[in-house]
């Protein structure tokens, strides 16, 4: 009996030891796994977030974009960037399809005139909180042009296009007239443009036998909303939509005066009309080819003028009859997909901050000469102001921010622009009166706006 009791005690001690050893073994295994995970690179890769970045462009700018993306990933190893790019038309055509299918890039470069289209259709994120937290608004050009009527920011500019008056110095010198200056009104421009207009027989307006239907050198060329009729309408006190961007204000006396100025210039052969433009390979080719002495142009037109070797410069756009001046702005901007995850959206915002806040990034992009830099410190530096010999007066683009505005962009901008162009061209070609063009444009555009904004 005594032996049996001793055996039981020994068995109990052994069982306790086995349980203790097993427990130690289990704890040891757990610790080893944790240590292994800390050194496991595959786990670090899982921590990395990948964002898809979409942009439109081509050629040299694509290469520079990739260089900047590589620099971003080096600085942010936790973020991997894949890209999707295509020429402008193809990019936005595909993008609309991708948005509809829920397959759009996490972040993309939007044409400035389309930001509100995406915003008001719920395709992009409201960036107001991040803009207010991370960006000093006073340091940038163009942030306000992505702000809606409720004060919300929907994008951060990647580069700014702003309108100015381009003029061919050689053609002015040959005509013996002074270059444009900041005091010019649109009437001053037309008076000088008449002196710079030459028909196929080398006659000028006012000469006997002058043929306004056969012009070889125009005083002024324009052809679109941005680089044509919109800045003229606005400086005459007119416009397309009210401040809320939901009501047409087209049928006004101010717009009528502005259109009368345009139609008169076209009738006299001083300004290119839609029929004249068809004789050129491209509407944008008239000025670089030396076939027009002046043009209304955004900053990007510097590239074509320099490539053509023109002796030219720029100044601010003329004033309207009451002294109002207006320069159209397109703030091409980064926007973030509203459907992307919070984690990817935060990574996309890091890219936007990298683009907007890093001086070196801004300088490298500015060197391409495609846009006015977003950051004021870079735009006002030698990098931009002396980027090339021509145009000499690059400050004119920066001065134009003092009287700059958007193109009344809203969710249906593309639709109403097409309708206004249709009616304006009829007036330009005298297929309708100016009164008819304004009345019909007013009616059609209000229908387009009402269709989208109806309750």
pLDDT in tens, 250-265: 999 999 999 999 999 9
Q: Which residue has the higher pLDDT, 136 or 14?
A: 136
Quick check: 9 pLDDT over 80? no
Quick check: 214 pLDDT over 70? yes
- Tens of pLDDT, residues 56-91: 977 778 899 999 999 999 999 999 999 999 999 999
Interval 413-436 mean pLDDT = 97
Interval 29-38 mean pLDDT = 33
Rounded-to-10 torsion of CA 225, 226, 228, 231 = 100
The fraction of the chain above a pLDDT of 70, given in percent, is: 90
CB atoms within 10 A of CB 274: 15
**Whole-angstrom Cα distance, residue 246 to residue 240?**
10
What per-residue confidence (pLDDT) applies to 58? 73
**Which has the closest alpha carbon to 50: 91, 132, 107, 10?**
107
User: Kind of pairing, strands 292-297 and 215-221?
Assistant: parallel
Lowest-confidence region among 8-12, 163-167, 337-341, 406-410 = 8-12
Buried b (16+ CB within 10 A) or exposed e, 2-34: eeeeeeeeeeeeeeeeeeeeeeeeeeeeeeeee
What per-residue confidence (pLDDT) applies to 387? 87
Rounded-to-10 torsion of CA 198, 202, 205, 207 = 170
**Which has the closest alpha carbon to 301: 247, 362, 252, 371?**
371
- Rounded (5°) CA angle 279-281-284: 100
Q: H or E segment at 3?
A: helix 2-38
What per-residue confidence (pLDDT) applies to 43? 42
Q: What is the mean pLDDT of the chain?
A: 90
- 3-class DSSP assignment, residue 302: helix
pTM of the entire predicted model: 0.87
Quick check: 29 pLDDT over 70? no
- Tens of pLDDT, residues 218-277: 999 998 999 999 999 999 999 999 999 999 999 999 999 999 999 999 999 999 999 999
**Whole-angstrom Cα distance, residue 38 to residue 44?**
9
- 3-class DSSP assignment, residue 82: strand
Residues in the chain: 455
User: Kind of pairing, strands 156-162 and 327-336?
Assistant: antiparallel
Task: Let me know: does 411 contact 451? Beta carbons within 8 Å.
Answer: no
- 3-class DSSP assignment, residue 161: strand
What per-residue confidence (pLDDT) applies to 47? 82
Quick check: 22 pLDDT over 60? no
**Whole-angstrom Cα distance, residue 284 to residue 13?**
96
- 3-class DSSP assignment, residue 54: strand
Contacts of 347 (CB under 8 A, 6+ apart): 49, 51, 76, 78, 79, 106
Under the banding of pLDDT at 50, 70 and 90, the label for residue 281 is confident
- Rounded (5°) CA angle 270-219-252: 55
Taking the CA atoms of 194, 199, 201 and 202 in sequence, report the sign of the dihedral they define: positive
Under the banding of pLDDT at 50, 70 and 90, the label for residue 26 is very low
**Which has the closest alpha carbon to 181: 319, 310, 321, 328?**
319
**Whole-angstrom Cα distance, residue 400 to residue 299?**
11
What string of DSSP letters covers 396-423? HHHHGGGGEE-----TTHHHHHHHHHHH
> In the chain, what's the furthest Cα-to-Cα distance?
144
- 3-class DSSP assignment, residue 191: helix
Quick check: 330 pLDDT over 60? yes
**Whole-angstrom Cα distance, residue 183 to residue 192?**
13
What string of DSSP letters covers 111-151? PGGGHHHHHHTT-B---HHHHHHH--GGGBSSGGGGB-TTS
- Tens of pLDDT, residues 291-329: 999 999 999 999 999 999 999 999 999 999 999 999 999
CB atoms within 10 A of CB 245: 20
Domains in the chain, start-ordered, CATH in brackets? 49-160+330-394 (3.40.190.10)
Task: Let me know: does 288 contact 277? Beta carbons within 8 Å.
Answer: no
What per-residue confidence (pLDDT) applies to 455? 60
**Which has the closest alpha carbon to 258: 227, 276, 234, 225?**
234
Quick check: 350 pLDDT over 50? yes
CB-based burial of residue 282 (10 Å sphere; 0-12 exposed, 13-18 middle, 19+ buried)?
exposed
């Amino acid at each position: 009996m005594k032996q049996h009791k001793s055996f039981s005690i020994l068995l109990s001690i052994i069982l306790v030891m086995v349980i203790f050893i097993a427990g130690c073994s289990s704890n040891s295994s757990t610790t080893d796994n944790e240590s292994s995970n800390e050194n496991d690179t595959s786990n670090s890769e899982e921590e990395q977030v990948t964002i898809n970045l979409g942009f439109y462009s081509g050629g040299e700018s694509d290469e520079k974009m990739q260089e900047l993306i590589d620099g971003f990933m080096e600085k942010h190893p936790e973020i991997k960037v894949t890209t999707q790019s295509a020429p402008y038309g193809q990019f936005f055509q595909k993008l609309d399809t991708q948005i509809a299918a829920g397959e759009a890039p996490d972040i993309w470069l939007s044409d400035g005139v389309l930001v509100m289209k995406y915003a008001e259709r719920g395709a992009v994120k409201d960036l107001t909180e991040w803009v207010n937290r991370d960006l000093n608004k006073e340091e940038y050009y163009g942030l306000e042009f992505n702000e809606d009527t409720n004060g919300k920011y929907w994008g951060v500019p990647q580069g700014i296009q702003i309108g100015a008056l381009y003029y061919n110095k050689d053609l002015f010198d040959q005509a013996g007239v002074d270059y444009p200056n900041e005091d010019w009104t649109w009437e001053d421009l037309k008076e000088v443009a008449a002196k710079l207009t030459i028909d196929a027989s080398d006659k000028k307006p006012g000469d006997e036998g002058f043929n306004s239907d056969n012009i070889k050198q125009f005083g002024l060329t324009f052809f679109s909303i941005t680089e044509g009729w919109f800045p003229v309408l606005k400086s005459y006190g007119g416009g397309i939509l009210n401040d809320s961007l939901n009501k047409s204000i087209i049928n006004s006396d101010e717009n009528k005066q502005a259109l009368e100025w345009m139609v008169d210039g076209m009738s006299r052969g001083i300004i290119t009309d839609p029929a004249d433009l068809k004789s050129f390979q491209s509407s944008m080719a008239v000025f670089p080819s030396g076939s027009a002495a002046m043009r209304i142009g955004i900053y990007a037109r510097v590239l074509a003028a320099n490539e053509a070797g023109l002796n030219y410069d720029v100044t601010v756009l003329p004033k309207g009859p009451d002294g109002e001046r207006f320069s159209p702005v397109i703030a091409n901007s980064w926007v973030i997909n509203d459907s992307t995850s919070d984690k990817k959206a935060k990574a996309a915002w890091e890219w936007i901050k990298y683009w907007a806040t890093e001086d070196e990034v801004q300088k490298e992009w500015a060197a391409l000469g495609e846009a006015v830099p977003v950051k004021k410190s870079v735009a006002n530096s030698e990098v931009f102001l002396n980027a090339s010999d021509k145009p000499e007066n690059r400050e004119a683009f920066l001065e134009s921010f003092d009287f700059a505005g958007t193109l009344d962009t809203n969710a249906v901008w593309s639709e109403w622009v097409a309708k206004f162009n249709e009616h304006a061209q009829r007036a330009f070609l005298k297929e309708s009166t100016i009164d008819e063009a304004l009345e019909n444009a007013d009616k059609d555009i209000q229908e387009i706006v009402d269709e989208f904004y109806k309750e």
